[in-house]
Structure 1
Amino acid sequence: MNDLRRDEESFDVLVVGFGPAGATAAGILGRMGHRTLVVDRLEGIYEKPRAIALDHEIFRHFDNMGIAEAVVPHVAPFTASQHFGAEGQLIRRIDMVPEPYPLGYTPSLVFTQPPVEAELRRHAQSFPSVTVEMGVELVGLSDRGGHVEARLRGGDGGSRTVRARYVLGCDGASSSVRELAGIRLEDLIFDEPWLVVDVLVDDLGLAKLPQTSAQFCNPARPTSFVMGPKNHRRWEIMLLPGEDPRRMEQPDQVWALLAPWLEPTDGTLWRAAAYRFHALVADDWRRGHILIAGDAAHQQPPFFGQGMCQGLRDVTNVLWKLDRVLRGASDEALLDTYTAERKQHVIELTGKIKAVGRSICERDPEAARRRDAQVLAEGGGAALTITRQEIIPPLRDGFIAGEDAPARGTLFVQPHIKAAAGWQLLDRVAGAGWRVILDGRRVAPGSVGSLPAGLGDVVVKAVAPPDLASAGQDLLIERDGVLADWFDRHGVVGALIRPDHYVFGAARSVSELTGLIEEAARRLVPDPALAGAPARRAAG
């Protein structure tokens, strides 16, 4: 594993870090066929949980990767979270959107990280174009203009230099890639000490605990409670001024903090780790041929469980663009949209998380009572229910259509489609590349003419509700009206969808849609001769 005797090797991409973001990146690059080297300074998977939450956008990508079935045993729905105020009263409830689910999966999920990470790694290593080397550390980076030279050091102290066209740093909050590239972190102003505790609770202990996740907004000691899969329960407990974080990690202190809920005989302490919850974002996510993603690019408080989701959004955003650049289908300018899209998204979402975090972390009793009164007033005097999905913003800038295009930058929905094998999700029928999806109630599949080559292979499908099932064999029939509702809500007849499932733009007419498709092709391929040539319609 640590054989560093080779003098020099060349790869399309060097991925530094084999955690969830790095393993996902390696799996996607492997499926694309790019020669990829993955290195990680650790020898194996960290055996304790860190991230605990996923959402339907990320699970959609797991399904596209073909690993959803393998991940399911380690995943469970995220229960509603009840927020209790300074006097213990219910002040707010955070839940999921109701069925039919917009992306076809449970919108909010909890998971156990070690086995899910193991599956992500197994998937990445299944591709012959992916090489994984554990116990290998990145110690030097030099961007040579057309490629990057990276110096790697193994556990035995031996070193070698490899070449890669691009380096993707998924190596965590203390990222060596970020430091070596000279990328700075911007402080988004949040810094609070917390203790994260994971317990495997026995049956008697489970009976004592809340049956939903909860946020105890008690100014004496704010605390979060999360119901993980099976008997896994997590507490996030705010540390108070003067408390030594290392001392508070000790079992006697941990069980004293858990005393309102459990006794030591009620379960097994799995992990206790003190953290400072930060809000940070990199000033730039690309320097030449060096890119960063995940915790290397941003850190945020955990109050809505979006930390790992953000990292995987980074990866799925940048890799469809990097694939085009590596294949010569687009020039490097396309990669500039990565920072433009993801940085603003992270800043906006972090701002919402910070606002909730500051409300939760209120330590002044009188201010906490005012907070509770305000939250209840927003619900008309009762606990207001909001959904976790409401806080996720769209893309505001980057590779999306102009501001007058409906639904630009939003995440495209995914209905269940009638197929020979039964009801299948849209991605399994239409694929996960560039797609033109039409409202089959108003537009025939053949209404969109020849497509410009800039997009590459494009799937064009018209989708309609069940009452049009006999209208024609070219129509896809959806089960629950999810897509019909989406078309009606936005007042459009079709949409152009990117490979990461974000809407480039939607259109009110076929001619308007044709204009969007031509715009996307021109921007992907600045060469007019190539952009104007007919594209292939992908099978699907």
Structure 2
Amino acid sequence: MSQPPVVVVGAGPVGATAALLLARRGLAVLLLDRQPRPPAVPRAVHLDDEALRALADAGVAEEFLAVSRPAAGLRLVDAAHRVLAEFGREPGAGRHGWPQASMFHQPDLEAVLRAAVVRTPGITLRTPAEVVGLTARADRSVTVAVVDRRTGERADVHAAAVLGCDGAHSTVRRLLGGRMRDLGRPDRWLVADLRAPSPLPVWPGVHQVCDPARAATFMPVSGDRYRFEARLLPGETVSGLAGGLPRLLAPFGAADAEVVRCAEYVYRAQVTDRWRRGRVLLAGDAAHLTPPFVGQGLGLGLRDVHQVAWKLAAVVTGTAPEDLLDTHGAERGPHARALVRLAALVGRLMTGGGAGAVPVRRAVLAAVVGVPALAAYATDSRTPPLRSGPLVDRRGRAGRRLAGALVPRARVRVDGRECRLDDVLGAGTAVVATASPGRVAVTAAGRRTEVDDVDGALTAWLGAGRARYAVVRPDRVVRAAG
């Protein structure tokens, strides 16, 4: 009898990426979504190069790059729009071979992912379909009760596992008994999406207005699109503030820009208290919600599915025990909480406090800009390493320096052909080790291959970690180093 499919609930960017990752590991996937087609409204606008590793393993990185643009960095300005600090990014590729940060229009990414889902063998997309029940079976698989939202017809689906990527109001989270835990207070913001017929005369990075009376953010997105956000004051409404938009947009040269959409968003700092029950797991906004200040909303979700897809595949195919799935919440929970707390903290530092905070903020930022290492940290795309656990060994000097973080997607040369390290690592666990000067040995799937370290990035990375070798997991996270 054939293996039942893994059911992925939610066909947004996180769910669609999960479906592609699972299918590329040979699993049948049933992808369900309540809506008949992707929403046309933009939400996420930023993605870093770490999270782009997930899109690369899903086979859509180059298509994403074609509809995005590199982010120039971050500029902090005061209430009068005088520059407090500017943290620019180098225009070229970072350690993973892509820009450290990219700006994009979410419907463009949704279109890329939906097209990939449709053309990928092994994925069945069913919309509009709503999950209304989950029942564990004796063999650890799951019965999923699904209602066709057009006809009202109900059917039971036998699933090898269920991955809930169904957003902030997740049905899957409710059905497995999870609750969101607050890590900070909700924050009401107006969000306006803009278009301009010609490029606006504005610095091409993100502008953060550090004004306690009216914190705001302005950023070029991609093409002719821009995003403006402003904190709503107590009792204030979007309709009440919308009339004053031209005045708020004028400092960015956008007073005459077309307002495509204007809505209220409540930014929350929350993480679920339960990531898994049996073979039902959570990812993306179903598991965590973050303020936008470090741009990790979508990135966190892509990390979730990149790190769980290979584990699900191993358990479903019987090559790993069920308790491998325990590591999903054990790894992703602390990482998500760390980044959500960081986003809330950065938001308070940049926009909080009263009038008394303004001179303090100015003095602190002047000190930060004067220390190059601190200034570089402001635009570094690296996130905290995963904690020690069954799949992350941070013992020893090399383990503490490298384990839990991503191996660089460095340039290598194999048999005269230049490629990226990921192309040599393969789909399973691999070992990267120093070989001879300028060369690194990669052992994957039982085969040892020596590669040229084209620009010395791998050798330098191992050297900085005081390591001779690193064990790399299928999700490109370093499991151990020594």
What is the DSSP-based 3-state SS (H/G/I as helix, E as strand, rest coil) of the residue aligned with 1:365? Answer: coil
Partner of 2:43: 50
What is the DSSP-based 3-state SS (H/G/I as helix, E as strand, rest coil) of the residue aligned with 2:124? Answer: strand
Partner of 2:406: 411
Quote how far apart the aligned CAs of 1:245 are: 3.6
Residue in structure 2 matching 1:82, options 75, 78, 90: 75
Structure 1: distance between partners of 2:290 and 2:357 = 24
Quote how far apart the aligned CAs of 1:363 are: 4.7
Pair 1:91-2:81 in alignment: no
Partner of 1:297: 287
Encode CA deviations 1:123-182: one digit per residue, 9 max, x unaligned. Answer: 122233211111111111222342211111112211111121211100000000001111
Partner of 1:350: 340
Partner of 1:505: 480
Residue in structure 2 matching 1:23, options 16, 26, 39: 16
Q: What is the root-mean-square deviation in Å for CA atoms of aligned residues?
A: 2.6
Task: Give, as a single letter, the amino acid of the residue that structure 2 aligns with 1:500.
Answer: D
Structure 2: distance between partners of 1:117 and 1:211 = 24
Residue in structure 2 matching 1:400, options 384, 392, 400: 392
Structure 2: distance between partners of 1:188 and 1:289 = 27
Quote how far apart the aligned CAs of 1:267 are: 3.0
Quote how far apart the aligned CAs of 1:361 are: 2.4
Partner of 2:357: 367
Residue in structure 2 matching 1:332, options 313, 322, 327: 322
Structure 1: distance between partners of 2:78 and 2:217 = 12
Partner of 2:166: 171
8 Å CA contact 1:24, 1:315 repeated in 2: yes
What is the DSSP-based 3-state SS (H/G/I as helix, E as strand, rest coil) of the residue aligned with 1:372? Answer: helix
What is the DSSP-based 3-state SS (H/G/I as helix, E as strand, rest coil) of the residue aligned with 2:356? Answer: helix
Quote how far apart the aligned CAs of 1:384 are: 4.1
Quote how far apart the aligned CAs of 1:365 are: 1.1
What is the DSSP-based 3-state SS (H/G/I as helix, E as strand, rest coil) of the residue aligned with 2:24? Answer: helix
Structure 2: distance between partners of 1:76 and 1:441 = 38
Relative distance call for 1:101 and 1:46 in structure 2 (3 A) is same
Structure 1 stretch displaced more, 419-428 or 356-365: 419-428
Pair 1:270-2:260 in alignment: yes
Question: Which structure's CA Rg is the greater one?
Answer: 1
Structure 1: distance between partners of 2:442 and 2:156 = 54
Partner of 1:468: none
8 Å CA contact 1:340, 1:397 repeated in 2: no
Encode CA deviations 1:269-307: one digit per residue, 9 max, x unaligned. Answer: 222221111100001211112101000000000112110
Partner of 1:285: 275
Structure 2: distance between partners of 1:59 and 1:114 = 17
In structure 2, the gaps of 5 or more residues are none
Partner of 1:210: 203
Task: Give, as a single letter, the amino acid of the residue that structure 1 aligns with 2:95.
Answer: P
Pair 1:433-2:428 in alignment: yes
8 Å CA contact 2:23, 2:123 repeated in 1: yes
Task: Give, as a single letter, the amino acid of the residue that structure 2 aligns with 1:427.
Answer: D
Task: Give, as a single letter, the amino acid of the residue that structure 2 aligns with 1:70.
Answer: E
Task: Give, as a single letter, the amino acid of the residue that structure 2 aligns with 1:415.
Answer: A
Pair 1:196-2:186 in alignment: no
Residue in structure 2 matching 1:457, options 442, 445, 449: 445
Task: Give, as a single letter, the amino acid of the residue that structure 2 aligns with 1:487.
Answer: L
Structure 1: distance between partners of 2:369 and 2:252 = 29
Residue in structure 2 matching 1:307, options 291, 297, 307: 297
Encode CA deviations 1:287-336: one digit per residue, 9 max, x unaligned. Answer: 11210100000000011211001001000111111111011111111110
Partner of 2:223: 230
Structure 2: distance between partners of 1:354 and 1:149 = 38
Residue in structure 2 matching 1:60, options 34, 53, 61: 53
Pair 1:149-2:143 in alignment: yes
Task: Give, as a single letter, the amino acid of the residue that structure 2 aligns with 1:57.
Answer: E
Quote how far apart the aligned CAs of 1:121 are: 1.8
Task: Give, as a single letter, the amino acid of the residue that structure 2 aligns with 1:135.
Answer: P
In structure 1, the gaps of 5 or more residues are 1-8, 449-455, 462-474, 508-540
Relative distance call for 1:421 and 1:66 in structure 2 (3 A) is farther
Relative distance call for 1:394 and 1:69 in structure 2 (3 A) is same
8 Å CA contact 2:425, 2:442 repeated in 1: no
Structure 2: distance between partners of 1:498 and 1:10 = 25
8 Å CA contact 2:433, 2:441 repeated in 1: no
Quote how far apart the aligned CAs of 1:422 are: 4.7
Structure 1: distance between partners of 2:183 and 2:232 = 21
Partner of 1:183: 178
Task: Give, as a single letter, the amino acid of the residue that structure 1 aligns with 2:425.
Answer: A
Relative distance call for 1:446 and 1:226 in structure 2 (3 A) is closer
Encode CA deviations 1:485-540: one digit per residue, 9 max, x unaligned. Answer: 10110111111100111000111xxxxxxxxxxxxxxxxxxxxxxxxxxxxxxxxx
Normalised by the size of structure 2, how large is the TM-score? 0.91
8 Å CA contact 1:280, 1:298 repeated in 2: yes
Relative distance call for 1:410 and 1:143 in structure 2 (3 A) is same
Relative distance call for 1:381 and 1:35 in structure 2 (3 A) is closer
Structure 1 stretch displaced more, 496-505 or 269-278: 269-278
Normalised by the size of structure 1, how large is the TM-score? 0.82
8 Å CA contact 2:442, 2:451 repeated in 1: no
What is the DSSP-based 3-state SS (H/G/I as helix, E as strand, rest coil) of the residue aligned with 1:190? Answer: coil
Encode CA deviations 1:228-287: one digit per residue, 9 max, x unaligned. Answer: 112211112111122024544x5x4544532433466x3322222211111000012111
What is the DSSP-based 3-state SS (H/G/I as helix, E as strand, rest coil) of the residue aligned with 2:325? Answer: helix
